[in-house]
Amino acid sequence: MTDRMHVELQVVRDDALDAGAVAAIGELFDREYSAEFGPWTRSAPYGYAPAATRVLAFADDVLIGHVGYQPRTITVGGAAVVIGGVGGVLIAPAARGIGLGARMLHAAQQSMSAEVEFGYLGCREEVVPFYEAAGWRRITARERSLSRLDGTPVVTDSDPILIRSAARPDHDWPEGDIDLLGPPW
Ligand SMILES: CC(C)(COP(=O)(O)OP(=O)(O)OC[C@H]1O[C@@H](n2cnc3c(N)ncnc32)[C@H](O)[C@@H]1OP(=O)(O)O)[C@@H](O)C(=O)NCCC(=O)NCCS
């Protein structure tokens, strides 16, 4: 797989996916994660919140990339904020390093801008530079969510949180503690 290969992006609502696409998404995730985390599921992948809309990348009809997002009203400093929670960011190993992940994040941001105020995601420290290179901004805040493992409340102070402008510019992000009012993505 090279940067000369034609890659087509599709933005698809989860409820409009056909069975073939669902199977392809499962295969993409299972190749990456099944040994460590078990099988991918559509409605609660690894216990995370599910995607309502998915950006899919195909090369010659083979799925090589996925980015999902789910609109949700959360609270920040006690006030309601509508975000697109981003998860399931995965590029097939042979297609990494050619800008596809950045391109797919951009497509997700364009799509969610009609629905939400900001994009939102949490990630491992090692991948923060990837999101920052794609225009996401790291913020520091206390975040409350429900555990992907058992649904109990979890509070973190230092795990990376990144936001992206959608309908509102990212400098409008309010001060204060964040409550995701559900599991992360
Ligand atoms: C992380 C991942 C999605 C990046 O996708 P990609 O298509 O390879 O990334 P791109 O080619 O679009 O890279 C865009 C920029 O991010 C940087 N980057 C890419 N992967 C990176 C990483 N793992 N760590 C730090 N920087 C990274 C690139 O150097 C590039 O910067 P540049 O434009 O200044 O050169 C991909 O490596 C992947 O699927 N990894 C496994 C799953 C994963 O970790 N997902 C993230 C879960 S939060």
**Burial environment of residue 6 by CB neighbours within 10 A (0 to 12, 13 to 18, 19 or more):** exposed
How much of the chain exceeds pLDDT 70, in percent?
A: 98
According to CATH, the topology of domain 7-179 is Aminopeptidase (3.40.630)
Is any ligand 1 atom within 6 A of the Cβ of residue 26? Answer: no
Instruction: Report the C-alpha gap between 106 and 121 in whole angstroms.
Output: 14
Of 127, 131, 161, the one to substitute when testing ligand 1's pocket (max ligand atoms within 8 A of C-beta) is 127
Could you identify the atom of ligand 1 that is nearest to the CA of residue 130? 16
What is residue 84's predicted lDDT score, i.e. its pLDDT?
98
Q: Where along the chain do its domains lie? A: 7-179
The pLDDT of 125-151, averaged and rounded, is 98
3 has pLDDT over 90: no
d(CA 159, CA 140): 9
pLDDT in tens, 65-119: 999 999 999 999 999 999 999 999 999 999 999 999 999 999 999 999 999 999 9
| Helix extents (H) in 39-146 | 100-112, 128-133
Give yes or no for residue 1 having a pLDDT over 80.
no
Residue nearest to atom 18 of ligand 1 (CA): 130
Distances in Å between the Cα of 41 and the Cα atoms of 10, 21, 23, 183 are 21, 13, 10, 15
Least confident piece of the model among 4-13, 82-91, 122-131, 143-152: 4-13
Q: Specify whether the CB–CB gap between 88 and 29 falls below 8 A.
A: yes
- Of all protein residues, the one whose alpha carbon is nearest to atom 33 of ligand 1 is 133
pLDDT at 172: 98
Question: From the CB of 100, is ligand 1 less than 6 Å away?
Answer: yes
* Mean of the per-residue pLDDT values of the chain: 97
Residue 123 tokens, joined: 């990630």
For the Cβ of 99 lying below 6 angstroms from any atom of ligand 1, the answer is: yes
Q: What mean pLDDT is predicted for residues 151-168?
A: 97
* Separation of alpha carbons 87 and 111, rounded Å: 15
The stretch 32-40 carries a mean pLDDT of 98
Distance CA 50, CA 61 (A): 24
Q: Using an 8 Å Cβ cutoff, are 112 and 69 in contact?
A: yes
36 in contact with ligand 1, CB cutoff 6 A: no
3-state secondary structure of 149: coil
Alpha carbon distance 183, 116 (integer Å): 18
Whether 127 lines ligand 1, by a CB cut-off of 6 Å, is yes
Average pLDDT over residues 141-155: 97
Cα 72 from Cα 181, distance rounded (Å): 9
